């Protein structure tokens, strides 16, 4: 049994395969890892498999699978999951875009209790080198779509990740197209994920296999994962969308609190309208905070109880920001552009709601590490 299996999908990588295998092996050696390298090739016509077979003669931790049907990157990776002889799988490209030097860090992330460790291009410290504008735009589009499903994950479509066997073992993966990580996130059985920044370096030799078809397949995959979450409420996607839903319910309850307090205070002549309104708004903010803290984001609070005052302060500031957004949009649309003020206010409320959810999700109730 190996400590981990590095799964390398290949198609026409004759120019790179020697180098990646020896670099991964060197990392194993330096870190005293008993690692397996599993090359999953789609019957490359360029001699990739011949080279791997030759390399195998001097390495007994290297295996090769040659697939002849159902050509595709995701399918190849899933075949790797099936054949790997360890409990931890690490997927990386053959073209040296993913640095083997990060393998020990990713493995340590798994040992620290994460189910998934993602090599992330889109976070501080990460990046992409030498990509043409077109590739960048496509990738950002794909990442944006992926984040609709997983708002917390900076790079849900990275091809460089480590995963515990248990996450994918019984997952009903439907591998298709390029983005196997999205499928693993959408259908795998995981709770904790960690991202590690790295700099993606575009291949120096050989050519990319990305085609127009790939983009269509990806869109289908996003829809398929959204649909899956509808029937699987334990999935990360469903849990995330439920937060948005609960946040909306709490927001509506805030309207009732606000209106109720205002009416109540106005019964007493002592309170002027501005004073009564400020008290009503503030009480609705406090009430919203309590509900969101105890209900909407309850699952993210396990280790963060001591920081409740900090969360309250953060929520308060974000809420004031939301109020200003609402106010500004209402006034700009109604006064400058001539919208009906009721419609203008609805726009203001919707944008403020989006702001409140997004910022609070990212900062006030961010998952504790």
Ligand X SMILES: Nc1nc2c(ncn2[C@@H]2O[C@H](COP(=O)(O)OP(=O)(O)O)[C@@H](O)[C@H]2O)c(=O)[nH]1
- From the list ligand X, Mg ion, none, which binds 195 (C-beta under 5 to 8 Å, kind-based)? none
Sequence-separated (6 or more) residues with CB below 8 Å from residue 44 = 10, 11, 12, 13, 14
Q: How far is the CB of 24 from ligand X (least distance, A)?
A: 13
Quote the CA–CA distance of 317 and 365 in Å, as a whole number.
14
Neighbours of 284 (CB within 10 A): 22
Tokens (6 digits) for 82:
């099936």
264, 317, 355, 126 alpha-carbon torsion, rounded to 10°:
-160
Which residue is it, tokens 């609705």?
284
Shortest reach from residue 41's CB to ligand X, in Å: 6
Shorter beta-carbon distance to ligand X: residue 154 or 243:
154
Pairing of strands 193-197, 116-120: parallel
The minimum distance between CB 71 and ligand X, in angstroms, equals 5
Interacting residue ranges for ligand X, rule: CB under 6 A: 9-11, 13, 40-42, 71-73, 76, 93-95, 97, 159, 203, 208-210
Distance CA 122, CA 35 (A): 28
Residue 218 Cβ vs Mg ion, minimum distance, rounded to whole Å: 16
Residue 8 or 276: the one with the smaller Cβ distance to ligand X is 8
CB of 23 to ligand X, least distance (A): 14
Q: Which helix (H) or strand (E) holds 49?
A: helix 48-56
345's contact among Mg ion, ligand X, none, with CB below 5 to 8 A by partner kind, is none
Q: Between residues 79 and 95, which has the closer beta carbon with respect to Mg ion?
A: 95
User: Residues in the site for Mg ion, rule: CB under 5 A?
Assistant: 95, 97, 203
Minimum distance from residue 109 beta carbon to Mg ion (Å): 23
Helix (H) or strand (E) holding 91: strand 88-91
Closest CB to ligand X among residues 97, 114: 97
Angle at 68 between CA 63 and CA 69, to 5 degrees: 125
Residue 209: both structure tokens together: 């296999």
DSSP three-state, residue 340: coil
Task: State which residue, 34 or 208, has the beta carbon closest to ligand X.
Answer: 208
Q: Which is nearer to ligand X, 98 or 311 (CB)?
A: 98
Is the CA virtual torsion 7, 8, 11, 12 positive or negative?
A: negative
Q: Which does 40 bind (CB under 5 to 8 A by kind): Mg ion, ligand X, none?
A: ligand X
3-state secondary structure of 199: strand
Work out how close the CB of 101 gets to ligand X at its nearest, in angstroms, rounded to a whole number.
18
188 binds, among Mg ion, ligand X, none (CB under 5 to 8 A by kind): none
Contacts of 344 (CB under 8 A, 6+ apart): 329, 330, 331, 333, 334
The option from ligand X, Mg ion, none interacting with 210 (CB < 5 to 8 A, set by class) reads: ligand X
Nearer to Mg ion, 11 or 315 (CB): 11
Name which of ligand X, Mg ion, none residue 365 binds, using a CB cut-off of 5 to 8 Å depending on partner kind: none
């Amino acid at each position: 049994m190996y400590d981990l299996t590095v799964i390398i999908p290949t198609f026409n990588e004759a120019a790179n395969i020697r180098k990646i295998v020896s670099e991964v092996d060197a990392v194993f050696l330096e870190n005293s890892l008993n690692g397996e390298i599993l090359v999953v090739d789609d019957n490359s016509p360029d001699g990739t498999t011949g080279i791997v077979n030759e390399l195998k003669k001097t390495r007994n931790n290297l295996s090769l699978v040659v697939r002849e049907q159902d050509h595709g990157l995701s399918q190849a990776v899933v075949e790797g999951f099936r054949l790997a002889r360890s409990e931890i799988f690490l997927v990386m490209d053959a073209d040296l875009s993913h640095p083997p030097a990060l393998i020990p860090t990713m493995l340590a992330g798994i040992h620290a209790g994460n189910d998934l460790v993602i090599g992330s291009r889109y976070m501080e410290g990460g990046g992409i080198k030498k990509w043409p504008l077109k590739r960048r735009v496509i990738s950002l589009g794909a990442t944006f779509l992926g984040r609709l499903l997983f708002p917390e994950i900076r790079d849900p479509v990275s091809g460089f990740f480590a995963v515990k066997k248990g996450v994918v073992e019984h997952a009903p993966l439907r591998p298709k197209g390029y983005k196997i990580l999205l499928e693993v996130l959408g259908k795998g059985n995981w709770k904790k994920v960690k991202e590690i920044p790295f700099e993606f370096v575009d291949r120096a030799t050989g050519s990319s296999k990305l085609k127009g078809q790939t983009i269509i397949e990806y869109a289908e995959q996003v829809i398929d994962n959204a649909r899956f979450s509808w029937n699987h409420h334990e999935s990360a996607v469903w849990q995330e969308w439920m937060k948005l839903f609960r946040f909306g319910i709490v927001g509506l309850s805030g309207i009732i609190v606000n209106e109720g307090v205002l009416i109540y205070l106005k019964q007493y002549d002592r309170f002027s309208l501005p004073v009564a309104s400020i008290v009503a708004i503030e009480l609705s903010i406090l009430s919203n905070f309590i509900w969101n803290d105890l209900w909407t984001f309850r699952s993210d609070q396990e280790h963060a109880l001591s920081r409740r005052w900090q969360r309250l302060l953060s929520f308060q500031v974000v809420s004031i920001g939301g109020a200003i957004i609402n106010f500004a949009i209402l006034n700009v649309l109604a006064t400058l552009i001539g919208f009906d003020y009721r419609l203008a206010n609805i726009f203001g409320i919707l944008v403020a709601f989006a702001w409140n959810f997004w910022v609070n999700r990212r900062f006030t109730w961010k998952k504790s590490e």
